[in-house]
Structure 1
Amino acid sequence: MSLKAVLFDMDGVIVDTEPLHRKAYFKTFEELNADVSEELYTSFTGASTKKVCETLIQTFGLSQSYEDIAAIKRAHFKDYFYNDLDFDLMPGVRKLIEHYYQNNIKLILASSATMTTINMVFEKFGLGKYFIGKISGADLKESKPHPEIFQLAAKMANEPIENCMVIEDSTNGILAAHNAHIFCAAYKSFHTHNQDYSLANMVITDYSEIEKDKISKYFK
C-alpha cells in the first residue's frame, strides 16, 4: 500500500474563484437595480446559479428570466476570470502538483464546478498535462457529501482507494472523502471559514506538508 493517486478538489484547493463570483454577482445586482444585502448574499453560499437567480426574481419582482440573469452573471465572471490581476493559483499548489507528477503519482480533478469552469482554470494556468482525468460534479446525479465523485475518481485512476488521497477544503468535500473511505488531507487557507475538519485524516495549512515522503507513513 502506497500513495499512487491524488484526487484534487478545485475551488479553495487549486484556485479561489469565490472573490470573482462575488464581484460578478454584485455587478449583476447593480445592473438589475437589486439592492442585495450582505446577509442575503451570504445565504446564497453553496446554492446553484439557478437558485440564486430565482430568489432574486422573487425577492425583487424582476421581469428578467433566470436565463437572462445567469447570462449577465456569466459574462461578468468570465471578464473577471481573465482580467482580474488578483486571481491566481493558491500558494504552493503548482509546486505540489509538479512534485506529484515528477513522482509518478496519478492526478485526478474531482470538483463540483462545471466542466466549463474546470477547463477555463486548466487552460489559464496550464494544468492539463499534469492530470490524467477530470470529473465535474455538475455532471453527476449525486453531489458532495455523497461519495460518488471520489469513488469515480479512484476508479478513473485505476487504483484501490487505500492508495488514494483526497485534498479538500470544505465540510461537504471532507465528508464525501470520508464516506468514500479515502484518506483526506484538509487544506485550511486564509480564505476558509466555518468549515468542519473533524472527519479529515489530517489538516494542513501549507502544501509542502503533504509531499510524498512526508505522508508516506500514512500509506504503509
Structure 2
Amino acid sequence: MLYDGNGCSPPYEYSMDDWIREKNDYLDSLGPRDRAPVRSMTPEEVENMKKLQAEKDQRDARIAQEVAKGIWFSASSSTPEGKLCTASFAKLTSADNGTSGGIVSIMGFQKPKPDAWLIFYGTGLPQPKKVRKINITLQQDNEPAQAVQVFSYRYQGRAGAIAFAVPGLAAALDGMRDQQTFKLSIDGKTAMAIQWAEAAPVIQKLKQCAQ
C-alpha cells in the first residue's frame, strides 16, 4: 500500500460519524417533541427493566469479547462529494497502555474521485487539541518501514488519530491483504501496533463500493 510521502490532505470532514449523527437526529425528529410525564413504575415494569438491562450487559460483554479478538465493520453512504466507502477493523485491549490494538479504517470515495485515507485510532497515539502535521514511521508486515508526514488529531475522548493519504481507494485495496500487520512509530518508539485478519470479504465489498 503506497502513501503520499511528503504529506497528506486532511481527512474528508464528512465522516461516517457525521452520517450516523445525521441519521440519529432525523430519527429523533420523528418522535414526539414533548417528553412524557414522569411516573412511578409498577413492580412488573421494574422487573422488565432489570431483564432488559441484563440482556444489554450480556450483549455488551459479547461485543467486548469480539472486539478483543478483532472485528470488522463496513458501510457506505451518500455525501455531498459522492459515495463514501468505509471499512474499519477494531481490536481493543488494555495492554501496553493502548499501544497494542486500536482501530484502523480505510475510507475513500467511489470513482472517479481520488480522495482516500488510511486512518489509525489508538490511545497510544498523540492527541493534539488542534490538527497538526507530524513525522511518523509506518511498517507493514516485514516490508521496509516508510517515514512519512501525516495529520495527527484527537478523536473522541482519550484516543488519537493518524491519517495517511492514499492515491485512491482502488490503489489502497490493491495493497490490502487478508492478514496484515501495521506498526506506527514516533521518534523510534512504537505508538501503535495492530494486526487484522479475515479481510478478504471486506476487500471485495469495498471494491464493489468503489466502482
Q: Structures share a fold, TM > 0.5?
A: no
Q: Which TM-score tier does this pair reach, normalised by the shorter chain?
A: under 0.3
- The one of the two structures with greater contact order (alpha-carbon pairs below 8 A, sep at least 6) is 1
Structure having the higher Rg: 2
Report the TM-score, using the length of structure 2 for normalisation: 0.27
Q: Which has the higher strand share?
A: 2
